[in-house]
Amino acid sequence: MAISSDEYNNKTRDLNTDVFIAGGGPIGATYAKLLVEAGYDVVMAELGAADSFREFTRDDGRTDYIPGFHKKNTVEYQKASLDIDRFVHVIQGALSLVSVPVQELTIDTLNPSSWGAQGAQKPTHWTCATPRFNKDIELPVLVDNKAENSKEWDRLYYIAEKLIGTTTTAFDESIRHTLILRTLQDAFSQQNRTFESLPLACHRMPNADYVNWHATDTILEHIYMDPEKRKRFTLLTNHRCTSVEVVDKNASNKTIGAASLKNFLANRDGQFPYSFVQAKIFIIAAGAVATPQILFKSGFVDYTNSNKSLIKNLGKYITEQPMTFCQVILKSELMDLIPRNPFKLDWWQEMVRNHKERHPEDPLRFPFRDPEPQVTSKVSQRHPWHAQIHRDAFSYGNVAATIDSRTIVDLRFFGFAEPRVDNTITFESGYEDDFGMPQPTFHFQLSDDDRKRAHRMMLDMCEVADKLGGFLPGSEPQFMAPGLALHLGGTTRAGLDPETHVADTNCKVYGFSNLYVGGNGVIPTGFASNPTLTSMCYAIRSAEAIVAQLGGQKKVVRQ
């Protein structure tokens, strides 16, 4: 509902800026960084609190802070390498139920190839995994020419990897990582299958025990460390963008005039509960669910008469990732190799020797703080799913304290679902979520091909697991509940055809002159790989288009 003129005049702050961004994650931060560096004023509204900061020293010697620090960098979790599952509770605390099922008639974790595995609504972590999409299976079309499209994606991926700090070397001197990687490479060499280090947004600290995981702060540091740029950036935390307002709904090319915000930490006496932000450009990058939710709340969709909808394809063709999971205890024969330094690596020998001297009673003979494995098998024609073989904290898969975590390996395999018009997310006008927004409802089923592919993925995961060890009781191979990967896509899909997409390939919403969308929701293809890097690519391309729209003389600064 739009805010009345009286509320606007009497109870709101009037913010006027060049660009307004709803959403303060890596995608919103990418927009902010590039547009601020291009010389524009930016206001960003973020629902979350600025409760995680990275400290730095300014040129004047004073201590300052950059918001958006990855919570896994906190010392207590870095030191807890023997009990990595302590971070699970942080993840669980950050998740919330986005939709309530109308009825429960299915078994969520049933093999998708089985009868009755129809999919269901479920509660819906930036793990810093940043793989590129497979060019033949996952990669969307930005340019209607295959060679030029590939060239454009290579350019965008290069910029995005620099922005977020992608690396494949942070775990090179990990005994477990090297052992698992070499074991799988040898085991599948005859099948011409590639296993490699998982691309991650992180860097290893001078003290090799610690890894700095990259997040929003990595992108925003270029703003916060420069006093002139920082003057052009305003961050409103604990603020939810509830809707955007059209200046003239009868215009053929609609223009957004303002965004309505709700401040969740407003004065309890009712002072300043809302705000208007006026801008030249509006970017909604609040997540794959919240972005279409805001557009629905803005009155842009009419489910009873599609001809009255200003955005006809909102929430259609949604995709998600079928997911399999298991945990194995490494084979004795592999653990027995560790003191022998099978690959003749100097750093390996030194780590084993130092650990033996300090802890002669430890039967495993390698450091308690040995970095975890981070191995992947990327999407391919023969294996059209994304594999992660690692040991990481998720909202599930925690290990009992009586088991030495150094012996445990997690296998998470992610499949993809074909985009289909009948797979949708809709919103309920009469029901609200915890933040007073229209409640989402998911209508989603896997296609026959999706089911068969998911079944093959499960068999493949079991074969890979067999090369490493035996299943941990309670974590045998299983399909995870729909939505658990948190990689929903397609809700605001971007593409060349306005008849089947929400926005163009610059992420400008069709039928609007100054409204852009960002995030995983813009990806129009089915994808198995982690989507954040690809979503950043869209934001980079979109920011370049916005610069051109606002004047063209200012160029996006590339790192």
User: Which pLDDT belongs to residue 222?
Assistant: 86
Mean pLDDT of 12-25: 86
Asked whether residue 285 is domain-assigned, the answer is yes
CATH of the domain at 285: 3.50.50.60
> Above 70 in pLDDT, residue 529?
yes
**Residues 438, 395, 461, 176, CA torsion sign:** positive
Residues marked as catalytic: 487, 530
Q: How many domains does the chain have?
A: 1
Instruction: Look up residue 151 and give its amino acid.
Output: K
Buried b / exposed e along 6-30 (16+ C-beta atoms within 10 A): eebeebbeebebbbbbbbbbbbbbb
Q: What is the pLDDT of residues 217-276, one digit of tens each?
A: 999 988 988 989 999 999 998 899 999 999 988 888 999 999 999 887 765 555 555 688
pLDDT in the model for residue 115: 47
The pLDDT score that the predictor gives to residue 1 is 38
The helix, strand and coil proportions of the chain, stated in percent and rounded to the nearest 5, come to 30, 25, 50
In the predicted structure, residue 11 carries a pLDDT above the cut 60: no
Q: Which domain holds residue 275?
A: 1-69+215-309+492-559
C-alpha 3/C-alpha 9 separation (Å) is: 10
Token reading at 114: 């089985």
Q: Residue 21: inside a domain, yes or no?
A: yes
Mean pLDDT of the chain: 85
Structure tokens at 219: 């992108």
- 3-state secondary structure at position 521: helix
For residue 23, being part of any structural domain is answered with: yes
How sure is the predictor about 163, in pLDDT bands with cuts at 50, 70 and 90? very high
Q: What is the pLDDT of residue 488?
A: 95
Q: Is residue 272 part of a domain?
A: yes
538: amino acid identity, one letter: Y
Please say if the pLDDT value at position 107 is more than 80.
Answer: no
pLDDT surpassing 90 at residue 548: yes
Residue 191 forms beta bridges with which residues? Answer: none
Please write the tens of the pLDDT for every residue from 371-421: 999 999 999 999 999 999 998 755 455 655 568 889 999 999 999 999 999
CA 14 to the chain's CA centroid: 32
Residue that wins the pLDDT comparison between 11 and 78:
78
The pLDDT score that the predictor gives to residue 496 is 97
**161-172 as b/e: b if 16+ CB within 10 A:** bebbbbbeebbb
φ/ψ of residue 78, rounded to 5: -65, -40
Domain contains 106: no
Please write the tens of the pLDDT for every residue from 309-342.
999 999 999 999 999 999 999 999 999 999 999 9
Through-space distance between the first and last CA atoms of the chain, rounded to whole angstroms: 41
**Span 457-469, pLDDT tens digits:** 999 999 999 999 9
Q: 412: closest CA among 466, 453, 461? A: 461
Residue 365 resides in a domain: no
Q: How confident is the model at residue 535 (pLDDT cuts 50, 70, 90)?
A: very high
Q: β-pairing, 42-46 with 12-22?
A: parallel
pLDDT of 122 above 60:
no
pLDDT at 7 over 60: no
Q: What is the pLDDT of residue 489?
A: 97
β partners of residue 442: 425
Which residues face 12 on adjacent strands? Answer: 274
pLDDT of residue 111: 67
pLDDT digits (tens, 9 = 90+) for 47-101: 876 556 566 666 666 666 776 666 565 555 455 454 455 544 444 444 455 555 5
Spatial contact of 112 and 454, defined as CB atoms under 8 Å apart:
yes
**Are 519 and 30 in contact, with CB atoms under 8 Å apart?**
no
Residue 237 pLDDT: 86
**H or E stretch including 30?**
helix 26-37
The percentage of the chain sitting over the pLDDT mark of 70, rounded to a whole number, equals 79
For the segment 201-210, the average pLDDT, to the nearest whole number, is 83
Q: Report DSSP state, residue 160.
A: H
Over pLDDT 90: what percentage of the chain? Answer: 66
266-305 per-position pLDDT tens digit:
655 555 556 889 999 999 999 999 999 999 999 999 998 8
pLDDT the model gives residue 248? 85
The answer to whether residue 512 is domain-embedded is yes
Tokens of 518: 């960002």
Q: Examine residue 449 and state whether it is found in any structural domain, yes or no.
A: no
